[in-house]
A = this chain, B = another copy of it.
Amino acid sequence: MKRILSLTAVLMAALVWPLAAQQALGPGTGIVSPEINPDHSVTFRLHAPKAVSVRLTGDFLPPQRIEYEADGRKQVYEAPGAVDMREGRDGIWTYTSAPLKGELYSYSFMVDGKKWMDPSNIYQNRDIATWTNIFTISAEQGDAGWYYEVHDTPHGSLSHVWYDSPTLGKQRRLTVYTPAGYEDNPKAKYPVLYLLHGSGGDEDAWSDLGRTAQILDNLIAEGKAKPMIVVMPNGVYFNQAAPGAAVNMFQPTMNNSRSQSTIEIEDSFPDVMNFIEKHYHVAKGAANTAVAGLSMGGRQSVQLSMRYPKRFGYVGMFSGAAMPEGNEDAIAAVFAAQPKLWWIGVGKDDGVRVSSLALKDYCDAHGYPVTYYESDGGHIWRNWRVYLTIFAQKLFR
């Protein structure tokens, strides 16, 4: 017995990731953070006895409103709020939020001016080059946060796949969601949504930050969206893949976006579609093909629609900036092809709202049918997840 006990003790010590032993506190040590309370307020805790100041920043706090003028109009940009945490005698700083609506939220601690990840919460997201902790609140079935959580429904697959792009002269990586049942129904043909990320993002952005698989799983299980394939390519022509899957351990930046080259992602997009239509059982044609994207990807979606007006029956521009000037003929060709849906979504406080409105106004003035959706908030993932949830329900009807 003694032998077994001593071996067990050693195993426990050895099996734990060694660096963990050097953390004074961490998961499993008794600190719970974040703690979601019964009223959906949230308590955050951080052990930092030597700190002079600990602040909490998060997108659930009253935002910092930054006013500016653009396009002759006053605009407001909402940055996440920040609050002071209060230190207890045990060196644990705490803050309890107001009750929160169902959502996926991000936060960080600022300890004496420096960002700390919450050592008690392993859940975190990378957005371009910034990591933040996250948590979800699911207030009730069908609220926004509910769609981002995993429920006991049939689940689709999420695959990271490489394809060859002859146009760009390289292999590139993309992420594919196939709905539950796809593998068991090889003769079924599925429509495809091409879903594009923003500047500095990559082919992991929509699945990680956008919770695409969870949103689609839940919508399809409820019968609110048609089973569909969602293809999330890498929209930066000079990148092959997301950090970790690419040849170099590059540091992504906002500059990883549009090139100064004559080759843009739109030129190579048929390479993506050819790969998907060859390797997946796909219902082809505009009535079965959608393209949407956020920010840079929203502009790319509009430009793809203009470049290939007969390929996309559904187009979504989420917080995008695509000006009608200079594109009059292309836009006319888009609507001559009678798309089933041209959907523009933007936040009231988004800096690109003026551009979204300009495109909407232009289409309205010319009798081109567009659907315009304005939400609260700014240029943030919270809105893009909501837009995807809305947009996906309108597809392939």
Beta-carbon contacts under 8 Å, A111-168 to B: 111-117, 119-124, 126-132, 135-136, 149-152, 154-162
Are A199 and B15 touching (Cβ within 8 A)? yes
Are B7 and A351 in touch, CB under 8 angstroms?
yes
User: Given that A15-B379, A279-B183 are contacting pairs, would A122 and B126 also be in contact in the complex, using a CB cutoff of 8 Å?
Assistant: yes
Chain A 154-186 near chain B by CB (<8 Å), digits 1 or 0 = 111111111000000001010000001001100
| Given A14-B379, A243-B123: A110 and B352 interface contact (C-beta under 8 Å) | no
Does A50 lie within 8 Å of B129, measured CB to CB? Answer: no
- List chain B residues, Cβ under 8 A from A159: 157-161
Nearest B residue to A347, CB-CB: B14
A195 within 8 A of B: no
Q: Contacts A160-B158, A244-B123: A132 and B352 contacting too (C-beta < 8 A)?
A: no
Distance in angstroms from A281 CB to nearest chain B CB is 12
Residues of B within 8 A of A150 (CB): 241, 245-247
Q: What is the distance, in angstroms, from A2's C-beta to the closest C-beta of chain B?
A: 10
| Integer count of this chain's copies in the complex | 2
Shortest distance from the beta carbon of A230 to any chain B beta carbon, whole Å: 14
With A160-B158, A351-B11: A26-B129 Cβ-Cβ less than 8 Å: yes
Contact B112 A251 (CB under 8 A): no
Tell me the residues in window 317-340 of chain A with beta carbons closer than 8 Å to chain B beta carbons: 321
A351–B19 CB distance below 8 A? no
A72 to B7: give the CA distance in the assembly, Å: 10
Are B23 and A115 in touch, CB under 8 angstroms?
A: yes
Interchain nearest-CB distance for A375 vs B (Å):
15
A113 touches B24 (CB 8 A): yes
Tell yes or no: A305 within 8 A of B by CB. no
A18 at the interface (CB under 8 A from B): yes
Q: Is the CB of A113 within 8 A of B160?
A: no
Can you list 26 A-B contacts with CB-CB less than 8 angstroms, sorted by A residue number? A3-B71, A7-B321, A10-B68, A11-B321, A12-B254, A13-B77, A14-B378, A15-B198, A19-B57, A19-B80, A19-B115, A22-B108, A22-B115, A24-B113, A27-B252, A28-B129, A28-B251, A50-B113, A50-B114, A114-B116, A122-B131, A123-B243, A150-B246, A157-B160, A158-B159, A158-B160
- Interface residues of chain A, those whose CB is within 8 Å of chain B, are 3, 6-7, 10-24, 26-28, 48, 50, 57, 59, 66, 68-72, 75, 77-80, 82, 106, 108, 110-117, 119-124, 126-132, 135-136, 149-152, 154-162, 171, 173, 180, 183-184, 198-200, 241, 243-247, 249, 251-254, 279, 295, 321, 350-352, 354-355, 378-380
